[in-house]
């Protein structure tokens, strides 16, 4: 009897062992295939593209079929925000997951500014690298380079490659600021050692023409600012000498960065990759390739939006041809709201017609009103994200923690919320509250409400003709009922105002101390 039991126990154990072996045999291969399938992540980031600029967001005068394909085939956010109403702070927040007003250097930078991200600071690309991603940036940087006194003729460091990017091909600051050259992995592209580059934001180099003194050399005239060195007939901010062969051709910039982005994707398609594709449009100077001149009927500003839309379409075609669309999360957004005349006489006002760059929103770039920071915000993932519209409150600040969750990292920051479910369209529970920033001033959104503290300074910028949000009194708006911010309820809803002030002050202790108004440089 004993023997029989022992025998059957043995047989049972043996069977268990065999079946567990079988399971083991299958499991590793399955896990491996899941692991190699880590999704690629692409952030396409426009420069100064407004909330009302896409067909999918209500534009009727501009045709943006490729942006719309992403918006209508993915999740289109109606309450998606940049962290700031200008470029540098928004980009800082996107890459670090930290509110830009916490860093006093995160404001519009000259082309000679040192890098404002600490090389020891956690960043989105560093986090992704730890998870096995190859990381690249193509396009606009505007977060500073070097540590001060950059020698543009040597390797420029620290820069993107020192804060998490394996590959970089960038323009240093903005298209309207010198140096007007591409920089690849820290080296100026096509630099001739016999024609070294010098850059200064303080004074001109002897004998060099400027926009101010040599209007006869200009093919595009300046309106305000933008009257220093002339490159390709366009006057810029800042002075530059040398580097003739390295200077970019403005009209070719869209094609240049598109080629770079496509090449990057093709090269890294067999490993998980993160590409930050930072478009230069429709920031000034607006220089569409001749193929796009006249396509919008709105002058250069509209034409470069059509160009950017085309660029995105071509880029998506590449992803499709490479079979990557089903395994790639694409996030599309803009660094700040729209501006029409931002310093050049480019017919942007004259030819705007009925187009409303900010849609129904009040304000624009530089403004604490909604149009400063509420921007197009789209997540697209073929077959994974069900097309839809989400009213959840999301900020670009949240990409850090949300993308960490996507790739299996538990990294996050205090300011960045993990909203992965929201970005994937599986939840509508966005943020409860968020601090907004515009030229070092801050405001506060909580639920449907936004509160703007009193600020000195002009109500409307005479340069860009945008309402900046400054007022002697507190402003309080209910965005659900009054998206265009026409009714200040600060005096009629005191309990709400007090609630908002208290919640705001809990986050921003001394925001008001750091006020810097928009000024001409």
Interface residues with ligand NG6 (CB under 6 A)? 47-48, 86-87, 108, 142, 174, 176, 224-226, 237, 283-284, 336, 342-343, 520-521
CA–CA dist 83, 435 (Å, integer): 8
Are 121 and 413 within 8 A, CB to CB?
no
Kind and range of the H or E run holding 66: helix 65-73
Alpha-carbon gap, residue 41 to 328, rounded angstroms: 6
> Judging by beta carbons within 10 Å of its beta carbon (0-12, 13-18, 19+), is residue 347 exposed, middle or buried?
middle
Q: Does 117 bind Ca ion (CB under 5 A)?
A: no
Residue 1's Cβ-count burial label (10 Å; 0-12, 13-18, 19+) is exposed
Q: Is 283 or 374 the residue whose CB approaches ligand NG6 more closely?
A: 283
Considering only residues 84, 227, 333, 336, which one is a binding residue for Ca ion as defined by CB under 5 A?
336
Least separation in angstroms between CB 177 and ligand NG6: 7
- From the CB of 181, what's the least distance to ligand NG6, in Å? 17
CA separation for the pair 14, 2 (Å, rounded): 18
| Contact by Cβ (8 Å): 78, 389 | yes
The DSSP 8-state label assigned to residue 82 in this structure reads -
Nearer to ligand NG6, 308 or 403 (CB): 308
Residue 150 binding partner per list ligand NG6, Ca ion, none, with a CB distance cut-off of 5 to 8 Å that depends on partner kind = none
Find the shortest distance in angstroms from Cβ 420 to ligand NG6: 28
Nearest residue to 315 via CA among 373, 280, 266: 266
φ, ψ of residue 30 to 5 degrees: the values are -60, -50
Determine the distance from the C-alpha atom of residue 277 to the mean position of all C-alpha atoms in its chain, rounded to a whole number: 9
Part of the chain binding Ca ion (CB under 5 A), chosen from 111-119, 252-260, 315-323, 329-337: 329-337
**Whose Cβ is closer to ligand NG6: residue 510's or residue 519's?**
519
Single out the residue of 42, 44, 48, 300 in contact with Ca ion (rule: CB under 5 A): 48
Minimum distance from residue 108 beta carbon to ligand NG6 (Å): 5
The least CB distance from residue 334 to Ca ion, in Å, is 7
| 250 contact choice in Ca ion, ligand NG6, none (CB below 5 to 8 Å, kind-dependent) | none
Interacting span for Ca ion (CB under 5 A) from 46-54, 154-162, 212-220, 272-280: 46-54
450 binds, among Ca ion, ligand NG6, none (CB under 5 to 8 A by kind): none
Q: Which does 142 bind (CB under 5 to 8 A by kind): ligand NG6, Ca ion, none?
A: ligand NG6
Closer by beta carbon to ligand NG6, 438 or else 476:
438
Q: Based on the shown chain and the rule CB under 5 A, indicate whether residue 250 belongs to the binding site for Ca ion.
A: no
Q: Which does 415 bind (CB under 5 to 8 A by kind): Ca ion, ligand NG6, none?
A: none
Calpha distance 180→152 (Å, rounded): 11
Q: Which does 285 bind (CB under 5 to 8 A by kind): Ca ion, ligand NG6, none?
A: none
CB of 268 to ligand NG6, least distance (A): 28
521 interface partner picked from ligand NG6, Ca ion, none, CB below 5 to 8 A per type: ligand NG6
Alpha helix stretches (DSSP H) within 408-508: 420-423, 494-507
Closest residue (Cβ) to Ca ion? 87
3-class DSSP state of 442: strand
CA 506 to CA 80: how far, in whole Å? 23
Q: Which residue has the tokens 């403005």?
A: 250
Between 399-407 and 87-96, two packed helices, what is the crossing angle to 10 degrees? 30
Selected from 43, 44, 87, 150, the binder of Ca ion by CB under 5 A is 87
Task: List CB contacts of 387: < 8 A, sequence separation 6 or more.
Answer: 72, 73, 74, 75
* Positions that interact with Ca ion (CB under 5 A): 47-48, 87, 335-336
């Amino acid at each position: 009897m004993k023997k029989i039991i022992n025998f059957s126990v043995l047989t049972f154990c043996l069977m268990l062992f065999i079946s567990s072996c079988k399971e083991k045999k299958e499991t590793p291969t399955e896990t491996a295939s899941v692991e190699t399938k880590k999704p690629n992540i692409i952030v396409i980031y426009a420069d100064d593209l407004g909330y009302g600029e896409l067909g999918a967001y209500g534009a009727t005068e501009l045709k943006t079929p490729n942006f719309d394909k992403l918006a209508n085939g993915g999740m289109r956010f109606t309450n998606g925000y940049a962290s700031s109403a200008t470029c540098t702070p928004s980009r800082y927040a996107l890459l670090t997951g930290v509110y830009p007003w916490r860093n006093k250097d995160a404001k519009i930078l000259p082309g000679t500014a040192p890098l404002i991200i600490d090389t020891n600071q956690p960043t989105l690309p560093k986090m992704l690298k730890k998870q096995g991603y190859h990381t690249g940036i193509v396009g606009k940087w505007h977060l500073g380079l070097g540590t001060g006194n950059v020698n543009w003729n040597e390797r420029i460091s620290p820069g993107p490659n020192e804060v998490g990017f394996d590959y970089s091909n960038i323009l240093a600051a903005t298209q309207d600021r010198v140096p007007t050259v591409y920089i690849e992995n820290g080296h100026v592209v096509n630099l001739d050692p016999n024609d070294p580059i010098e850059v200064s934001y303080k004074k001109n180099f002897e004998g060099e023409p400027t926009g101010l003194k040599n209007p006869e050399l200009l093919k595009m005239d300046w309106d305000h600012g933008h009257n220093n060195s002339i490159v390709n007939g366009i006057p810029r901010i800042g002075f530059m000498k040398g580097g003739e062969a390295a200077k970019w051709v403005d009209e070719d910039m869209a094609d240049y960065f598109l080629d770079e982005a496509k090449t990057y994707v093709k090269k890294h398609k067999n490993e998980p990759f993160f590409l930050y594709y930072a478009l230069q449009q429709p920031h000034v100077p607006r220089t569409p390739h001749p193929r796009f001149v006249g396509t919008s009927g709105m002058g250069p500003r509209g034409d470069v939006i059509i160009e950017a839309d085309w660029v995105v379409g071509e880029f998506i075609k590449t992803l499709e041809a490479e079979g990557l669309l089903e395994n790639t999360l694409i996030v599309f957004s803009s660094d700040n709201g729209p501006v029409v005349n931002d310093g050049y006489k480019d017919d942007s006002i004259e030819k705007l017609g009925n187009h409303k760059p900010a849609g129904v929103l009040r304000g624009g770039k530089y403004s604490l009103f909604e149009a400063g920071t509420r921007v197009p915000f789209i997540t697209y993932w073929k077959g994974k994200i069900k097309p839809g519209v989400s009213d959840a409150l999301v900020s670009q600040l949240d990409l850090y923690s949300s993308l960490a969750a996507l790739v299996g990292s538990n990294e996050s920051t205090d300011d960045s919320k993990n909203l992965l479910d929201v970005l994937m369209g599986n939840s509508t529970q966005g943020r409860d509250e968020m601090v907004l920033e515009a030229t070092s001033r801050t405001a506060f959104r909580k639920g449907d409400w936004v509160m703007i503290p009193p600020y000195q300074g002009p109500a409307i910028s005479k340069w860009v003709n945008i309402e900046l949000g400054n007022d002697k009194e507190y402003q309080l708006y209910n965005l659900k009922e009054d998206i265009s911010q026409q009714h200040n309820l600060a005096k009629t809803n005191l309990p709400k105002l007090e609630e908002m002030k208290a919640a705001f002050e809990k986050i921003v202790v001394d925001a008001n101390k750091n006020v810097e108004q928009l000024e001409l440089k």
